[in-house]
């Protein structure tokens, strides 16, 4: 009797195992033919990969990963809290610099031009692509930082791609001279060294919080002469009105050292202040930067002093 029961149990286990195995194989074959349609409103809508060409250059049906990333391409910028002039009881304009060579700011530097990736892009490439296609307006950094002079497409392309120059090169055969066109002063992405940030700090009495809004961002590169050789100093490329760029930042991922499935977007990085920086100027009656009245380490001390004053101001508004 016991032997017959064992045989029945073993037979049932075998049937269940074979059924589960065939079911999992069927799902695996089906999963190889479909992917999530990121353009659909339904989160689980499946489409045939043979109907859509790939945008990454990979063969149709090939996915570089275990799932389709559909969340970030559909992200929207986080809305700011409503703010009225009557709610602002204190404000201060601050200029700061993000040094991309600091460890906390390496996300601003990589991936470089020599080591590109398909799943994410450096912030300078995002800005340049948006400026080239016209989705972002660039403002001349040589004039001011108040967005007064909008750069034309010709001016933008000259600062980014260089300017053509006619150079006569002597050759040994008649006519002994020849006109050639060379591109001089071409921007190298790896020359970007920091980003200037212009922002307003304010105390919102309606919400009882100290808050900050970034107004503009300006990439700064190493200076090069017309022949492409490095020279002393830095060259600010252009100013970007930050609120205009937020929706573009919101759909571009940023590398996360700890978890590839929980990456932030560039809008998150700025909104949550996930970067290191130092203050170079505060609004003042002389309209001067810290370097205009401090030298060496005194500039660092003055920068920390300005930051400390804003922190203490917020603390002094409360009683404990």
Average pLDDT over residues 73-99: 93
Identify the pLDDT of residue 39.
43
Identify the pLDDT of residue 5.
66
How far apart are alpha carbons 15 and 63 in whole angstroms?
A: 34
How far apart are alpha carbons 206 and 87 in whole angstroms?
A: 6
Q: Would you place residue 75 in the very low, low, confident or very high pLDDT band (cuts 50, 70, 90)?
A: confident
Residues paired with 12 in a beta bridge: none
Q: Would you place residue 293 in the very low, low, confident or very high pLDDT band (cuts 50, 70, 90)?
A: very high
User: pLDDT per residue over 5-44, tens digit each?
Assistant: 666 666 666 665 555 555 445 444 444 333 334 444 443 4
Any residues with CB less than 8 A from the CB of 171 and at least 6 apart, and which? 177, 178
Average pLDDT over residues 48-59: 51
SS3 string, 24-92, reads HHHHHHHHCCEEECCCCCCCCCEEEHHHCCCCCCCCCCCCCCCCCCCCHHHCCCCCCCCCCHHHEEEEE
Least confident of 83-97, 149-163, 238-252, 291-305: 149-163
Identify the pLDDT of residue 154.
85
Record the pTM: 0.74
User: pLDDT per residue over 87-123, tens digit each?
Assistant: 999 999 999 999 999 999 999 998 887 777 777 889 9
User: pLDDT per residue over 154-200, tens digit each?
Assistant: 888 877 776 566 555 566 666 666 556 566 666 777 889 999 999 99
Any residues with CB less than 8 A from the CB of 312 and at least 6 apart, and which? none
Share of the chain above pLDDT 90, in %: 48
Q: Would you place residue 52 in the very low, low, confident or very high pLDDT band (cuts 50, 70, 90)?
A: very low
How far apart are alpha carbons 116 and 125 in whole angstroms?
A: 10
DSSP string, 126-161: HHHHHHHHTSS-EEETTT-SSS-SBPPHHHHHHHHH
How far apart are alpha carbons 309 and 300 in whole angstroms?
A: 14
Residues paired with 153 in a beta bridge: none
How far apart are alpha carbons 127 and 107 in whole angstroms?
A: 15
- Report which of residues 246 and 26 the model is more confident about: 246
For 265, the 3-state DSSP assignment is strand
Cα 158 to chain centroid distance, Å, stands at 23
Under 8 Å between Cβ of 95 and 197: yes
């Amino acid at each position: 009797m016991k032997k017959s029961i064992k045989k029945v149990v073993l037979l049932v286990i075998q049937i269940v195992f074979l059924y589960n195995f065939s079911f999992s194989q069927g799902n695996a074959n089906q999963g190889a033919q479909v992917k999530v349609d990121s353009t659909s409103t339904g989160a689980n809508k499946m489409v045939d990969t043979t109907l859509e060409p790939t945008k990454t250059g990979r063969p149709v049906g090939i996915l570089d990963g275990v799932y389709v990333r559909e969340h970030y391409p559909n992200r929207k910028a986080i809305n700011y809290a409503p703010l009225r002039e009557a709610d602002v009881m204190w404000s201060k304009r601050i200029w700061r610099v993000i040094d991309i060579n600091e460890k906390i700011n390496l996300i601003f530097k990589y991936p470089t031009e020599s080591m590109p990736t398909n799943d994410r892009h450096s912030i300078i490439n995002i800005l340049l692509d948006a400026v080239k296609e016209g989705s972002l307006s660039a403002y001349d950094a040589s004039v001011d930082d108040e967005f007064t002079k909008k750069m034309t497409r010709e001016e933008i392309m000259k600062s980014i791609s260089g300017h053509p120059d006619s150079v006569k090169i002597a050759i040994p055969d008649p006519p002994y001279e020849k006109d050639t066109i060379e591109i001089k002063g071409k921007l190298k992405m790896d020359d970007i060294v920091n980003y200037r940030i212009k922002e307003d700090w304010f105390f919102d009495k309606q919400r009882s919080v100290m808050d900050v809004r970034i107004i503009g961002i300006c990439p700064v590169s190493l200076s090069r002469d017309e022949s492409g050789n490095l020279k002393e100093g830095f060259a600010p490329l252009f100013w970007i009105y930050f609120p205009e760029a937020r929706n573009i930042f919101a759909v571009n991922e940023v590398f996360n050292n700890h978890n590839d499935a929980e990456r932030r977007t560039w809008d998150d990085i700025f909104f949550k202040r996930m970067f290191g920086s130092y203050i170079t100027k505060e609004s003042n009656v002389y309209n001067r930067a810290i370097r205009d009245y401090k030298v060496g380490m005194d500039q660092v001390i003055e920068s920390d002093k300005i930051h400390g004053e804003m922190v203490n101001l917020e603390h002094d508004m409360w009683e404990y």
